[in-house]
Amino acid sequence: MKKQVFDLSPGSRITGKWNGRTYTTIKKLGAGACGTVFLCRSEQGDTYALKVGEDSSRMMLEVNMLKKFSKVQGVKLGPSFVDVDDWINPSGRSFPFYVMEYVDGTPLPEFLKGKTKDWVGIFAIQLLTDLENLHHAGYVFGDLKTENLLISSSRVRWIDVGGVTAIGRAIKEYTEFYDRGYWNLGSRKAEATYDLFAVTMIMMEMGYPKRFDKGSHPHKTLESKLASSSVLKPYRRIIQQCWKGKIQNSADMKRALSDILMKRSGTNSSRVQKRRSAKESENRELATLTLTAGVVFGVSVLSFFL
């Protein structure tokens, strides 16, 4: 899909036609198929993210998603909803916009840079925990990619729910690298396995920060890349099972990843003990990330890091 880009310079004022609230832009955060997102400041001095677009129906759908997923099964998934209105630009045209919580965090690739391969599994488990809640609510994320994820206070946060789709419908907003249809490994039907494939591609990106093309034989390309990555070695079997459709839901994938980490805890416990002081700070951060995920399968994954 073509990106909708609104070029508003810092200091531009956007005033709602109906509610009358004014927001001042600070900088552009990004642009997508449905609009452009700006960091802004309210009249009260609070900082938010503001998205402006052209398609009113699509924007309202996103607003409804934000409201719906403010809390799913007691878990906060997407950013909190703040305001929705129409903006009349200097030329007299009307554009819909909405305001949401600004999630201040670290981009996933930057957060994982230089960290051990175990972080890939812990991150994936936390992401799958949130996806499990979303799937139980009857939706899939759809456009799941690293750009839509931040690490904030040692927790994975979603920053764009524009691709969220009801289970059973067609995925309309996606990014090729994370789309199983692009790799000839499934349809674009909204189902849990669509998101699971995207999770495997996010994991692949941890091994290959620069995304690669599918080539003339997409499946062979994936298998070759997977086999060549030392970072992904512990997770190869799980990733392959997802590609083959043998893992059908988030809970099963989460359990499989937890089993791998538990096995590694027994293998590496002596080495971890020897370098405990050198890794103490990193382990504390990792422990926090693990606790936030709420992952317990018989024995805590935390035993791997203590």
Asked if pLDDT for residue 17 goes beyond 60, the answer is yes
Q: For 278-284, what is the mean pLDDT? A: 53
Asked if pLDDT for residue 258 goes beyond 90, the answer is yes
Which CATH superfamily includes the segment(s) 13-101?
Phosphorylase Kinase; domain 1 (3.30.200.20)
| 59-63: Cβ within 8 A, 24+ apart | 59/34, 59/35, 59/84, 59/96, 59/97, 59/98, 60/84, 60/96, 62/34, 62/98, 62/161, 62/162, 63/98
CB count in 10 Å sphere of residue 13 = 12
Bridge partners of 40?
Answer: 25, 48
Dump pLDDT digits (tens) for 125-166.
Answer: 999 999 999 999 999 999 999 999 999 888 899 988 888 999
Which residue in the block uniquely carries the two structure tokens 């309202």?
60
- Quick check: 295 and 129 in contact, CB under 8 A? yes
Q: Is 210 strand, coil or helix?
A: coil
Asked if pLDDT for residue 275 goes beyond 60, the answer is no
Count Cα neighbours of 206 within 13 Å in the Cβ-side half-sphere. 25
- Of 98, 101, 87, 64, the C-alpha closest to 18 is 87
CB count in 10 Å sphere of residue 170 = 10
- Quick check: 186 and 193 in contact, CB under 8 A? yes
Alpha-carbon gap, residue 129 to 124, rounded angstroms = 9
From the candidates 143, 160, 195, 252, give the one annotated as an active-site residue: 143
143 part of the active site: yes
| Mean pLDDT computed over every residue of the chain | 87
Domain ranges of the chain: 13-101, 106-294
Bridge partners of 71?
Answer: none
Alpha-carbon gap, residue 164 to 135, rounded angstroms = 10
Alpha-carbon gap, residue 91 to 110, rounded angstroms = 40
- The pLDDT of residue 113 is 81
- The pLDDT of residue 68 is 82
Asked if pLDDT for residue 72 goes beyond 90, the answer is no
The CATH class for the domain spanning 106-294 reads mainly alpha
Q: For 269-294, what is the mean pLDDT? A: 53
- The pLDDT of residue 54 is 92
* Gyration radius of the chain over CA positions: 21
Q: Which helix (H) or strand (E) holds 87?
A: strand 81-88
- Quick check: 41 and 82 in contact, CB under 8 A? no
Dump pLDDT digits (tens) for 77-90.
Answer: 889 999 999 999 99
